Amino acid sequence: MTFTVSDFHTLVEMAYKHPEWRAELRQLVLTEEILSLPQVVRELAEAQKELAEAQRELAAAQVRTEQRVEELAEAQKRSEDRLSRVEAAVEKLAIAQARTETELRNLSNRVGSTEEEEAEGVLRVVLEAKGYRLVGEPFNLRMDGDVDVVLPLEDADGAPVWALAEAKVRLGWRGVEAWAHRMRSEDFRARLAREGVVGPYLVYVYGMRVDAAARPAAEKHGIGVLSSQGEQLAPAGLIAA
């Protein structure tokens, strides 16, 4: 049986009238790949939509990251500025501290010289009034255990005597104890002898300000006490070399 053009048109017309026939015709005429193409297109469209959404989220995240980087950079700049100010303040403080320490050293030297000079002057007046004669220039010793005032003397009989004094701005019992123990030390007296200060020793402590406890401590150890007013306590006697 021959299939004519008229038969084809008839078939097409009937296919339009029966949708279920068109589906069967598509199954017969079209390949599996072509039949699945609409689904593939839909999947591609969905994937493209998801990709576009991911790109938007990525762009937003990038914007947030850039903003965060800018904030961090600004915070770092502020931190660096604060650090620079702190370093400048520390430098100024170090300079001020060095200046203060220098001033304190100068003041300490001035005060130390003053107390030693006063102790020397008072000691000379007191001992000359007692009949001692100065036979050399007063000096001080700077060794392991300083001696602030050293006076080379002779007594009324011409015997050599060395007057030694420890000078303090404020004389307390601790200072008296330390000086007394030093002078009672054989090792310390041996070092004095090596410096030419051979004894016997007339030992005093001097204080610009003398605490109440200083005199009893000096009396216990047999050493004299001097102040700007003169001799407050005479030594109990000479300490042998």
210-221, pLDDT tens digit by residue?
Answer: 999 999 999 999
Reduce the DSSP state of residue 154 to 3 states and report it.
strand
Residue 106: what pLDDT? 46
Q: Classify the phi-psi angles of 194: left when phi > 0, otherwise alpha if psi is within -120 to 50, otherwise beta.
A: alpha
pLDDT confidence band for 233 (50 / 70 / 90) = very high
Residue 72: what pLDDT? 82
Residue 10: what pLDDT? 73
pLDDT confidence band for 161 (50 / 70 / 90) = very high
Reply yes or no on whether the pLDDT at 50 is more than 70.
Answer: yes
Between CA 52 and CA 48 the distance in angstroms is 6
Reply yes or no on whether the pLDDT at 99 is more than 90.
Answer: no
Mean pLDDT of the chain: 82
Reply yes or no on whether the pLDDT at 35 is more than 60.
Answer: no
Residue 214: what pLDDT? 95
Residue 108: what pLDDT? 47
Residue length, the chain?
241
Between CA 195 and CA 197 the distance in angstroms is 6
179-216 burial, b for 16+ CB within 10 Å, e for fewer?
A: bbebbeeeebbebbeeeebebbbbbbbbbbebbeebbe
Q: How far is CA 46 from the centre of its chain?
A: 66
CATH of domain 117-233: 3.40.1350
Reduce the DSSP state of residue 135 to 3 states and report it.
coil
Taking the complete model, does pTM exceed 0.75, yes or no? no
146 or 160, greater pLDDT: 160
> What is the tens place of the pLDDT at every residue in 171-190?
999 999 999 999 999 999 99
pLDDT confidence band for 51 (50 / 70 / 90) = confident
Q: Of the segments 39-48, 111-120, 159-168, which one has the largest average pLDDT value?
A: 159-168
Between CA 41 and CA 136 the distance in angstroms is 122
Q: What proportion of the chain, given as a percentage, has pLDDT over 90?
A: 42
Reply yes or no on whether the pLDDT at 29 is more than 70.
Answer: no
- Written as one letter, the residue type at 81 is D
- Written as one letter, the residue type at 118 is E
Reply yes or no on whether the pLDDT at 234 is more than 70.
Answer: yes
pLDDT confidence band for 11 (50 / 70 / 90) = low
Reduce the DSSP state of residue 143 to 3 states and report it.
coil
Q: Around Cβ 120, how many Cβ atoms within 10 Å?
A: 21
Q: Return the axis-axis angle of helices 5-17 and 19-29, rounded to nearest 10°.
A: 120
8 or 108, greater pLDDT: 8
What are the angstrom distances between the C-alpha of 48 and each of 33, 44, 51, 95? 21, 6, 5, 69
Residue 152: what pLDDT? 96
> What is the tens place of the pLDDT at every residue in 100-153?
554 445 444 444 458 888 999 999 999 999 999 999 999 988 876 688 899 999
Q: Return the axis-axis angle of helices 173-184 and 186-194, rounded to nearest 10°.
A: 70
User: Where does the chain have alpha helices with state H?
Assistant: 5-17, 19-29, 32-35, 37-129, 173-184, 186-194, 214-221
Domain boundaries, the chain: 117-233
